[in-house]
């Protein structure tokens, strides 16, 4: 069984993101980039499936400009077998990403496709669900546990208020939540080995997909700022302030 | 053309998130319909019909909607979409699961997690954990939108008298099935609708120590939350998580205990009316957003707070 995992290059989540002065977006020049953290969890899960013998090949796919190959290399260094790079300079919104991934999946025929539940740049949280829709496949979002069976899987999902377990027919699309696993670090020998693993390049035109954005970004501004309040010395003073000044208890 | 709002419910209770989503719909236009997809959900439909500003309630009552499986509910929405200019759902785990699937089937680019309506095709939404607020304009013929519930006041639960109309099921897609739920049973309010929240971070040091916060929560009628660090450390379940990748909350009072205030956590709670920080590190970023701070060891401060609440009550 083949597992395909989608990985996105985003601003490193530990970097303080700055809005550009002309309100056209956020500053990305000379900013440290990284793999979207939820996609790392996806790569880890796919590799564990191969290590457990339920999967025999892990393919990592990324969409974007030439630099996303660095992100694919990271997935290869973690243990993915090969990469696919859909090369485009276009701004890719979730629907376009889902259409491009669908075209790749029709060529690759995986049984399980894993994506992060959201990317920490646009925080849209749509691509996995959209991909499942376009393929007509089962979807298991916000997964914290995946148990693969014969032609189906039991997936535990993180929902508001607790957990839910569903049975999904294969092929399926899964999106990862935090507790699914703890991704490994790539070892130096594996980073070296990853350099020799193949990355196949293709374009949206090769895949017959028009990736033009549907949403126009009008502007990006800084959020309203909160200001630091006061430090109180005692718990009695705090309770008094909450009761009589803020009137919230 | 009207606006369709997907009701959030569990067949027993209409969730408050529906009310906030109706308010977002009213900021876009009139003629608001609510879709109740469920099993044995007649009482939910009755409750939805009373929401102020709702003109019609559509009910699809069938076993395949009993557990809000995305494949089935999305197909239902697609079948009803023709009559609507906008389809809205709350940006909850259920709305997030269902609406993008419907959007892709309709070849529409959804707008997620809106915090303001600028016009019928233009919306504000946070990006990068709330470090930026983007204004986006949709060129699609129909707008599918999920709504950040803390950004819109709840619509009044009474005052409406909408007509209730049964709609046919779109059938069972047969792709997924519900096996079981493990829902946290708690007498405390839900995080996203609580007026007061007390949250712990890595400084709590263990899951057992969260009992200290629970005691205070019970005195204040509060919900208990946590930072991602505390969830990652295994102290509490993931559904406690407040932040960019967890729940977005905006209570009247948010008490952050032993929690440094990483940007991803602030993204989930900085719209709270009043923030209290208890931390031994006076340099912790949480103090930059807190209205009231106490610098001290939480293992001294929290029990003292509990005693003080008893004294002053």
pLDDT category, B313, cuts 50, 70, 90? Answer: confident
- Amino acid A234: pLDDT: 95
The side-by-side arrangement of strands in the sheet containing A138-148 is A199-202, A82-87, A57-64, A2-6, A112-116, A172-176, A138-148, A152-159, A162-169, B176-183
Out of B105, B109, B192, closest to residue A215 by CB: B109
Q: Give how far A113 is from chain B: nearest CA, Å.
A: 15
Contacts of B69 (CB under 8 A, 6+ apart): A166, B173, B175, B176, B177, B178
Residues of B in contact with A239 (CB under 8 A): 305, 308-309, 312
- Judged by a CB distance cut-off of 8 A, whether residue B283 touches chain A is no
Interface touch A230/B231, C-beta < 8 Å: no
> Would the pLDDT of A86 be above 90?
yes
Lowest mean pLDDT among A208-217, B181-190, B263-272, B273-282: B181-190
Given a contact cutoff of 8 angstroms between Cβ atoms, the answer to whether B85 and B1 are in contact is yes
- Amino acid B113: pLDDT: 98
Q: Across all residues in chain A, what is the average pLDDT?
A: 96
B209-219 pLDDT tens trace: 999 999 999 99
Instruction: Tell me the CATH number at A208.
Output: 3.40.50.620
Say which DSSP state B221 is in: T
Interface touch A160/B192, C-beta < 8 Å: yes
Interface touch A219/B134, C-beta < 8 Å: yes
Mean pLDDT over B137-166 rounds to: 96
Question: Strands B132-138 and A215-221, how do they pair?
Answer: antiparallel
Given a contact cutoff of 8 angstroms between Cβ atoms, the answer to whether B305 and B277 are in contact is no
Mean pLDDT over A48-69 rounds to: 97
Interface touch B100/A229, C-beta < 8 Å: no
> Would the pLDDT of B186 be above 80?
no
- Amino acid B49: pLDDT: 98
Q: How many CB pairs under 8 A join A and B?
A: 272
- Judged by a CB distance cut-off of 8 A, whether residue B264 touches chain A is yes
| Inter-helix orientation angle A94-108/A127-135, to 10° | 50
| Residue showing tokens 């997964």 | A143
Q: Answer whether residue A102 is part of any domain.
A: yes
Q: Give how far A68 is from chain B: nearest CA, Å.
A: 19
- SS3 of residue A213 by DSSP: coil
Q: Answer whether residue A227 is part of any domain.
A: no
Residues of A in contact with B111 (CB under 8 A): 215
- Amino acid A87: pLDDT: 98
CA distance B219 to B307: 11
Contacts of B11 (CB under 8 A, 6+ apart): B38, B39, B40, B41, B44, B66
- Amino acid A203: pLDDT: 98
Q: Answer whether residue A196 is part of any domain.
A: yes
Mutate: best of B101, B149, B252, partner A, most A CBs <10 A: B101
Q: Answer whether residue A241 is part of any domain.
A: no
Residues of A in contact with B139 (CB under 8 A): 214-216
| Residue showing tokens 């470090």 | B131
Mean pLDDT over A26-55 rounds to: 97
pLDDT category, B70, cuts 50, 70, 90? Answer: very high
- Amino acid B101: pLDDT: 98
The number of domains in chain A is 1
CA distance B125 to B148: 9
Q: Give how far A149 is from chain B: nearest CA, Å.
A: 14
CA distance B105 to A134: 6
Provide the domain limits for residue A52: 2-213
Q: Answer whether residue A239 is part of any domain.
A: no
Say whether pTM exceeds 0.80: yes
Q: Among residues B234, B233, B232, B229, which one has the least CA distance to residue B260?
A: B229
The full length of chain B comes to 313
> Would the pLDDT of B312 be above 90?
no
Given a contact cutoff of 8 angstroms between Cβ atoms, the answer to whether B258 and B278 are in contact is yes
**Cβ atoms within 10 A of the Cβ of B185, count?**
7
> Would the pLDDT of A39 be above 90?
yes
- SS3 of residue B299 by DSSP: helix
- SS3 of residue A130 by DSSP: helix
- Amino acid B182: pLDDT: 87
B202-249 pLDDT tens trace: 999 999 999 999 999 999 999 999 999 999 999 999 889 999 989 999
Q: Among residues B223, B215, B259, B274, which one has the least CA distance to residue A226?
A: B274
Mean pLDDT over A91-99 rounds to: 98
| Inter-helix orientation angle B93-105/A127-135, to 10° | 50
> Would the pLDDT of A81 be above 80?
yes
Residues of A in contact with B184 (CB under 8 A): 161-162
- Judged by a CB distance cut-off of 8 A, whether residue B190 touches chain A is yes
Mean pLDDT over A219-229 rounds to: 92
Interface touch B92/A13, C-beta < 8 Å: no
- Judged by a CB distance cut-off of 8 A, whether residue B231 touches chain A is yes
Mean pLDDT over B146-161 rounds to: 96
> Would the pLDDT of A79 be above 90?
yes
Interface touch B100/A125, C-beta < 8 Å: yes
Q: Among residues B4, B14, B77, which one has the least CA distance to residue B42?
A: B14
- Amino acid A225: pLDDT: 87
CA distance A37 to B288: 26
Q: Give how far A40 is from chain B: nearest CA, Å.
A: 15
- SS3 of residue B104 by DSSP: helix
Interface touch A160/B93, C-beta < 8 Å: yes
Given a contact cutoff of 8 angstroms between Cβ atoms, the answer to whether A239 and B292 are in contact is no
Mutate: best of A33, A116, A241, A242, partner B, most B CBs <10 A: A242
The side-by-side arrangement of strands in the sheet containing B32-38 is B111-114, B143-147, B84-90, B2-6, B32-38, B54-61, B163-166
- Judged by a CB distance cut-off of 8 A, whether residue B218 touches chain A is no
pLDDT category, B185, cuts 50, 70, 90? Answer: confident
B282-301 pLDDT tens trace: 999 999 999 999 999 999 99
Q: Answer whether residue A248 is part of any domain.
A: no
Mean pLDDT over B93-115 rounds to: 98
- Identify each DSSP E strand in chain A by its residue range: 2-6, 9-11, 33-35, 57-64, 82-87, 112-116, 138-148, 152-159, 162-169, 172-176, 199-202, 215-221, 230-231
Given a contact cutoff of 8 angstroms between Cβ atoms, the answer to whether A158 and B238 are in contact is yes
The full length of chain A comes to 249
Q: Answer whether residue A247 is part of any domain.
A: no
> Would the pLDDT of B184 be above 90?
no
Mean pLDDT over A95-124 rounds to: 98
- Amino acid A233: pLDDT: 95
Q: Answer whether residue A134 is part of any domain.
A: yes
Given a contact cutoff of 8 angstroms between Cβ atoms, the answer to whether B125 and B113 are in contact is yes
Residues of A in contact with B275 (CB under 8 A): 226, 229
A173-204 pLDDT tens trace: 999 998 899 999 999 999 999 999 999 999 99
């Amino acid at each position: 069984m083949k597992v395909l995992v989608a990985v996105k290059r985003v601003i490193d989540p530990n970097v303080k993101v700055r809005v550009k002065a002309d309100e056209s977006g956020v500053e990305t020049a000379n900013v440290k980039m990284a793999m979207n953290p939820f996609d790392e969890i996806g790569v880890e899960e796919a590799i564990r499936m191969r290590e457990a013998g339920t999967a025999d090949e892990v393919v990592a796919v990324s969409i974007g400009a030439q630099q996303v190959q660095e992100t694919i290399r990271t997935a290869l260094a973690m243990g993915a077998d090969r990469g696919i790079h859909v090369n485009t300079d276009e701004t890719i919104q979730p629907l376009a990403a889902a259409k491009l991934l669908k075209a790749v999946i029709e060529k690759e025929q995986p049984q399980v496709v894993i994506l992060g539940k959201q990317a920490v740049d646009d925080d849209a949280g749509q691509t996995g669900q959209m991909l499942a829709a376009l393929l007509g496949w089962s979807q298991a979002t916000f997964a914290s546990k995946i148990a693969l069976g014969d032609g189906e899987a039991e997936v535990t999902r993180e929902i508001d208020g607790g957990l839910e377990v569903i049975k999904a027919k294969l092929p399926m699309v899964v999106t990862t939540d935090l507790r699914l696993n703890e991704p490994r670090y790539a070892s130096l020998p594996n980073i070296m080995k990853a350099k020799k693993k193949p990355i196949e390049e293709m374009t949206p035109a090769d895949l017959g997909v028009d990736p033009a954005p549907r949403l126009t970004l009008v502007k990006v501004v800084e959020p309203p700022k909160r200001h630091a309040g006061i430090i109180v010395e005692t718990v009695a003073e705090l309770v008094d302030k909450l009761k009589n000044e803020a009137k919230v208890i | 053309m009207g606006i369709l709002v997907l009701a959030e419910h569990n067949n027993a209770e209409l969730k408050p998130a529906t009310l906030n989503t109706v308010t977002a719909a009213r900021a876009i236009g009139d003629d608001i319909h609510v879709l109740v997809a469920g099993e044995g959900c007649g009482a939910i439909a009755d409750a939805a019909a009373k929401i102020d500003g709702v003109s019609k309630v559509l009910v699809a009552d069938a076993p395949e909607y009993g557990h809000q499986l995305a494949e089935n509910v999305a197909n239902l929405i697609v079948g009803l979409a023709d009559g609507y200019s906008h389809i809205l759902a709350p940006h909850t785990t259920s709305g997030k699961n269902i609406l993008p699937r419907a959007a892709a089937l309709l070849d529409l680019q959804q707008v997620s997690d809106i915090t303001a309506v600028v016009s019928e095709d233009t919306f504000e939404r946070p990006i990068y954990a709330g470090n930026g607020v983007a204004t986006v304009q949709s060129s699609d013929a129909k707008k599918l939108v999920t709504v950040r519930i803390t950004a819109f006041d709840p619509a009044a639960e009474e005052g409406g008298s909408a007509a209730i109309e049964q709609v046919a099921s779109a059938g069972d897609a047969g792709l997924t099935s519900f096996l079981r739920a493990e829902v946290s049973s708690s007498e405390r309010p839900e995080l996203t609708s609580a007026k007061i929240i007390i949250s712990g971070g890595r400084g709590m040091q263990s899951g057992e120590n969260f009992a200290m916060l629970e005691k205070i929560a019970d005195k204040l009628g509060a919900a208990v939350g946590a930072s991602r660090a505390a969830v990652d450390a295994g102290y509490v379940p993931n559904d406690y998580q407040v932040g960019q990748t967890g729940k977005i909350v905006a209570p009247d009072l948010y008490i952050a205990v032993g929690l440094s205030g990483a940007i991803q956590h602030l993204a989930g709670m900085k719209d709270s009316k009043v923030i209290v920080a208890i931390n031994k590190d006076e340099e912790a970023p949480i103090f930059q957003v807190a209205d009231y701070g106490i610098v001290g060891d939480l293992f001294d401060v929290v029990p003292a707070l509990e005693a003080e609440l008893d004294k002053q009550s």
